[in-house]
Each structure stands twice: as C-alpha cells, then as structure tokens.
Amino acid sequence: MTDITYEQAESLRKAKKYNEATEAFRSLWTNNPKQDVGWRYAHCLRKTGEFAQAEIIANEAIEQFPDNKWAKNELIWTLYDKELKPAKVDGDLERAIRFGKQTLSLNPEGLSLHKISLLVMKVAKSKSRWDIILEWADLLLNDKPSTQARFFNGKKGFSDSEIWYVARAKALYELGMYSEARTFTQKGLITHPKEVYLERTSALSLAKTGQLDEAIVEFKEILRNPKAGWYFKADLAELERQAGNTEKAYQLVCQSLIASRQGNEFKLGAFYTLAEIALDLEKVEIAAAHVKLSKNIRETKGWKLDDNLILLAGKIQTLSTEKNVQLSLPEKTYELTKLCEQSWQDAATSDEQRIHGTISFYSREKPFAFISPDDGGEDVYSSAKDIPSRCKKSGARVDFMREKSFDRKKNKNSFKASYIRCMDE
C-alpha cells in the first residue's frame, strides 16, 4: 500500500475495516513510526485475531514511547484476548494468574482492571481457590465494577458488580471470615437489594457467628424469593439440624431434592446432608442408600471419594451393626435413584395434609396451570413443570400441598401448589 495517509488509515479503522486498516497502519509504522500509529496498528492486528503480532507491535510502541498509555492499554487487551481468555476456557489457573499479573504491571484501570480481575476470580472459583478469589477481588475495593446488567439472548444476567460482590462474599465465608462476610454482604445488598446469593451467604455467615435462630428466620424469608435455588432449602435443612430440629430438617432436605431439576451429580452435597440427618434419625437404610448412590456417581464421573463420605459410610456400618439392620441395597444407580426418590416423596409430605383437586387450566403454550381444590376457595397457581406428565391436561385429578408464595403480578402474598401427584398413582 503506497501513499496512504494517517487520516485514511484511521477512517478504515473507525469503519471497522480492520484488514485494510492493518495494512495501512503497517505501512505507516514501518516508514515513519509515531505514537498515534503504533497502538492503532496493534489494535487492528488484535481485531483480526493476529494476537502474537499485536503483542510484538504493542511492545515496540511502548519501547519507543514509554509514556503512551494507549499502547499499554492495547497490550493489556491483547494479553487478555491471547492469554487470559484461553486460560478461562481451559480452567488454567496458573496461566490466568501469570498473565493477570503481567497485565497488572501495565497499570490497568477501569474496565480492563475489572475484566482481568473477574476472569482470574472465575477460574479460581472453578478450583475452589478462595484465597486467590479474595486476593483479586480486593483489587477492586476502590474501583468497583459496573452495576449495569448484562443481557444474554434477551435475558437479563448478572452485572459485573453483582458477580464481584457474590464471589468476594463467598470467598470470605469459605475462608472462615464470617463476621467480615456478613458485613460485606450487607453492604452489597444496599447496592443490589434482594440479590439472593448475597442473602444466602449473609444468612449462612450469621449462623456461623453463633446466631443460629436469627439465621433460620432469615433463610425462611430468602426462600420466598423466586430466584432461590432448590439447594437453599437444603441449606436451611442443615441449619435446622444444627438447631436440633431433626425431623423438620429431614423433611426440608427431601423437599429440596424433589424440587431440583438437575442431575444427581449436582446433588451430592444435599445427599450428604440427607444421609447425616437420616443417620441422626436412625433411618439407616435411607442414609446408606444415599451414600452408596453418591459413591456410584463419583465412580461414574471418575471423581475421588470424599473423605467425609468415607467417614459417614463407617458410621452407617457401625449403627447398622448396633441395630442389627441388614442392609440390602440395589447395585445399579438407576435402582438406587428410584429408592432414594421414593424416600424423598414419603418424607416431603409426611406431616402435611394433602389437598385433592382438579386441574382447571392447563395449556402447553403456558408455563403455568391452575388447580381447583375440592374444599373450595380460589384456584391455586402451579408451575407447569411441577405437574406430572400424565396429569398435564385440564380436568385431571390430582392431590397437592399448598405452599406459601408471592404473587408478583398482584403484589401480595399468595399460595402455589407443590408436590403434585396424579390421583391414580
């Protein structure tokens, strides 16, 4: 390319014609390197995916013009694309930390600092390295990330600020800094009211500081939040167990497992909690079934057995010997799953009066349905996914439990149907 002017090259760059702009800036940089040209040349190389060459040019620009912050900024983003993003994809924490620290030496600020820190934190989270998460989260204490929500396929996602608050709070909790975690979550909830994961860590931290009854009250309120996951109820079950409410704890953890739509590999923590509670209640076979199911899943996934799981298995064996309980459990995972699922269903509704009714409205096009109770009163709302397949039709006879809920459309307390069964089951 001959006789190209800076203005022409910049016009191509602004028009996002990066291939043409790259050639234009290459000619300018080769013939007469100037500080306004170097970082723009590196920028165009980065945009065309030529990360290695972009890194070389950015370093050349910094060497020739050490005070040019734009060249340093371009090197930061080049390292982000070339090294940090692949480290995130591969879960390579060592690589993420190494190149994260290299970018820190270039004094990133604002968006670049936020993105680098959050990326390293995310990789560290996948390795449960809470110390690393806290170290990198603390870099943003005086330069907090954006509170602007991000959207994915039209759906609202977490803002960078929410991700940072939740991750730092969790790190403080996992590192045993419970008072600090409680204080930090309360600050986060001022910025992000009703952020359910902050509420969860806040209540768990409160329990760890010895205020168990207060934590249970908070958790019950959190469960009213529609964004509270099924495992929140398992958390509450563990708190109720610690408070000595063992029967209630058992019912709660069974309810949480019924509510989950995830595969069994995501339920191992709840299985462990349930097995401990079942053992407290001397439900030896149920405890043993969940421990064996957990072992089967870990073996299938190629995961090592958890030490706590091994200890729990020993306790089960001791108690079964003391009580002269002969354990005869199925070997196959799907048979164990059916056995465990039946125990959840039995426990989840054991102390509650079930209500008979008829599905008064159901449509495949709608995510909800309504059930008309036999005892009269208003129709009860239900999520369509909670209705068994055989009952998904208007006029089907069902029984269910009435559970407290909140009608966001009418902005008032309400009820919803849960643990729905077809009447002929």
pLDDT top residue among 170 and 365: 170
Structural domain boundaries enclosing 290: 249-351
Which of residues 140, 164, 183 is at a domain's end?
A: 140
Share of the chain above pLDDT 70, in %: 98
For residues 118 and 197, state if they share a domain.
Answer: no
Calpha distance 131→146 (Å, rounded): 23
> Is residue 345 within 8 Å of 258, Cβ to Cβ?
yes
What's the mean per-residue pLDDT of the chain? 92
> Is residue 382 within 8 Å of 390, Cβ to Cβ?
no
For residues 368 and 389, state if they share a domain.
Answer: yes
In a domain, 238, yes or no: no
In a domain, 1, yes or no: no
- How many structural domains compose the chain? 4
Radius of gyration, alpha carbons of the chain: 28
> Is residue 320 within 8 Å of 284, Cβ to Cβ?
yes
Calpha distance 240→250 (Å, rounded): 9
- Give per-residue pLDDT as tens, 285-310: 999 999 999 999 999 999 998 899 99
Which of residues 195, 228, 261 is at a domain's end?
A: 228
Calpha distance 394→360 (Å, rounded): 5
Give me the phi and psi of 279, to 5 degrees please: -65, -40
In a domain, 211, yes or no: yes
Q: How far from 354 is each of 106, 159, 341, 396, 399, CA to CA, in Å?
A: 64, 41, 19, 16, 6
In a domain, 60, yes or no: yes
Which of residues 299, 331, 351 is at a domain's end?
A: 351
Share of the chain above pLDDT 90, in %: 78
- The residues that bridge with 371 in the sheet, in sequence order, are 359, 380
- Give per-residue pLDDT as tens, 225-259: 888 999 999 999 999 999 999 999 999 999 899 88
Question: For the residues 335-358, what does the mean pLDDT come to?
Answer: 83
Calpha distance 396→401 (Å, rounded): 16
For residues 376 and 342, state if they share a domain.
Answer: no
In a domain, 123, yes or no: yes
Question: For the residues 303-321, what does the mean pLDDT come to?
Answer: 92
pLDDT top residue among 216 and 260: 216
The H-assigned helical ranges of 260-391 are 268-280, 284-301, 307-322, 333-348
Question: For the residues 401-425, what does the mean pLDDT come to?
Answer: 77
Q: What is the CATH number of the domain that holds 366?
A: 2.40.50.140
Q: How confident is the model at residue 375 (pLDDT cuts 50, 70, 90)?
A: confident
For residues 10 and 136, state if they share a domain.
Answer: yes
- Give per-residue pLDDT as tens, 252-269: 999 899 888 889 999 999
For residues 111 and 190, state if they share a domain.
Answer: no
Q: What's the whole-model pTM score? A: 0.81
Tokens 């039209």, residue located: 154
For residues 372 and 340, state if they share a domain.
Answer: no
User: What is the DSSP code string of 56-107?
Assistant: HHHHHHHHH-TT-HHHHHHHHHHHIIIIIHHHHHHT-HHHHHHHHHHHHTT-
For residues 342 and 363, state if they share a domain.
Answer: no
In a domain, 16, yes or no: yes
177-199 b/e (C-beta count within 10 Å ≥ 16 → b):
bbebbbebbeebbeebeebbbbb
What separation, in Å, do the N-terminal and C-terminal C-alpha atoms of the chain show?
78
Tokens 């204490």, residue located: 141
361-392 b/e (C-beta count within 10 Å ≥ 16 → b):
ebeeeeeebbbebeeeeebbbbeeebbeeebb
Per the structure block, which two tokens stand in for 424? 């002929």
For residues 374 and 346, state if they share a domain.
Answer: no
What one-character DSSP code corresponds to residue 338? H
For residues 18 and 102, state if they share a domain.
Answer: yes
Range of lowest pLDDT (53-62, 70-79, 141-150): 141-150
Give how far the C-alpha of residue 128 lies from the chain's centroid of Cα atoms, to the nearest Å.
Answer: 13
Give me the phi and psi of 145, to 5 degrees please: -65, 170
Identify the pLDDT of residue 126.
Answer: 95
> Is residue 374 within 8 Å of 355, Cβ to Cβ?
yes
For residues 359 and 343, state if they share a domain.
Answer: no
Identify the pLDDT of residue 424.
Answer: 67
Q: What is the CATH number of the domain that holds 46?
A: 1.25.40.10
